[in-house]
Structure 1
Amino acid sequence: MSERSRRDGRRRLEPGARTAILDRIAALQPKPASPSPAGPAPAETDDTTRALRAAVLGEDEVRLPQLHDLWGSLRQIPVNEAVLESNLVITASRRDPAHTAFDLLRTRLLQALDEHGWKRVAITSPTRGCGKTFTAANLAIALSRYENRRTVLLDLDLRAPGLAEVLGAPAPGPIADWLRGATSSSTQLQRVGQNLLGIGGLAVGLNDRSETYAAELLQDPKTAAVLDQMQEEIAPDAVLFDLPPALSQDDVTAFRSRYDCVLMVVGGGHNSAEQIREAVRRIGEDKPILGMILNRAEEDHASGSG
């Protein structure tokens, strides 16, 4: 059952079940009668069809699932190994032994998502400079290596976007336009193309400019509708949100109803215990913190933009 199905209470059908039901309806539906000299027959065909469908489906109205899968039609972006390596995206080439930490993180994350039926993961930090974007990029690439799984990574640090630079890929435009419904998922999202690094099922939503009204946009019902529609069109197994630091603005709090769980990236020697506690408090007790990731990277560029 899709995320949207759970939220609006509608029962969705698998494509095979839908086909079988419509075949049964076609077999049951009466053949149209010959025209009568006295005039057309009563308009019962539509009523009969609706009644048959209601009887077969147990619903007053037939609601069919989204049939068009956009994944295969997304524009592809090339993989630049040199750029990824220079930005310490260590899960790309896997030459750095530290990539095994992200492999372990992805396995535990997927186990938690599967166990609870979650899909949306917020990645944040108490303050800037902790490496949340670095973590989001590495985790997304690690996830992409699982066959038959799709991962979507979205740059929702709207005030200070940096994921495009870390990945060395161009953004098609402001992601705020997509969240407002002005552009489509097929325009904003891009899929990682074929490469020799084994990076597979990964689509990214990149951003090329800062958004002044970030918290208002993240809390807007239109944003929720766009994300729901994206899940119908793309059918991802996991959606990672690279969010702003929890203590910098109210963006993470404004967006809290849109994600299921949280990964908190803490800068080693950078964040105090009080900052960590306050960040967790702002997120709220009802949002599970799946892990506290201690980033000990000393290089400035290892932290990405976050």
Structure 2
Amino acid sequence: MPAAGSVLVLLNPRADGGRAGRLADPLREWLGRHAAGAAFVVAETAEAARSAVSAQPEGVRVVVVGGDGTVHQVLPTLLARDATLALVPLGSGNDLSRALGLRRLPWQPALEHALRGHASPCDVGELVVGHAAVPFASSLAAGFDAAVSRRAVAGPEGLRGQSRYLWATLRELAALRTWRMKVIVDGVPWYDGPALFASCLNTPTYGAGMPAVPSARIDDGRLDLLIAGRFGRLGALWMLPRLLAGSHLRHRHVHTRPFLELRVESATPVPLAADGEVLPPERAFAVRVRRGALKVVKGTRGAIPPPPARRSR
């Protein structure tokens, strides 16, 4: 275990539909018995979570008890503190923990692994708008899928995980639209036309487990672009079950390729969401990879398995 005083266990009580809050007392008791040197904070707000990380020494191991959204909230501070991230996945999406090979264990063994597991470098994506940069761990959605994320945030309390995203997707289809996008990949014009979405993946899945780019890896030094071109409602309905099955890449209007940096320009503002967290729409933005920028504890299943062969269209 890291030296006493260099561990912060950060609980988001709102994760998992508020169920994570029930763990506050059991976590505090368990840490008192097994990791007395660890700091423990129940962060009711994103600002409280960031402040808790900022108060720690550089190189701290931060154990996030929550989901992708919780990680996204503290990611800039983790990077600034050169922190090591470990996860006890309790969110509704959990695409990051899935990419790291973290099984959905009971919280006690998951916490023990988070405290003791070996950390290795992983990549981080970064959205750049003007002079502002927003890091993301799993995905940057742009277009229809970001609009789905926005609707999912306000979805029914009883729906969680992929069910919530499916509900939001079907609702968003009623107002389906595309955006005229010009996409420049690694300095070369690559796409110019109508797009349902143009999203960037650091993990194979997004939207609570949809295999958007199955070949994507969180530690390969690059991100993966996924573009869906001109689709009407019927075409989008056709694509949805294939996206769930990972067979959408066979469609002639769906394109993917790895990249280091890209720029997107649109005549109208494009909805954006980073790690499922809704951001303001933008007409122009860039996305780039920060190679090996974050040390992360990977899963109990060992190393991330080799990816399937890439398809670039």
- Using the size of structure 2 for normalisation, the TM-score is 0.23
Larger Rg belongs to: 1
Q: Structure 1 or 2: larger strand share?
A: 2
Q: Normalization by structure 1: what TM-score?
A: 0.24
Q: Which has the higher helix share?
A: 1
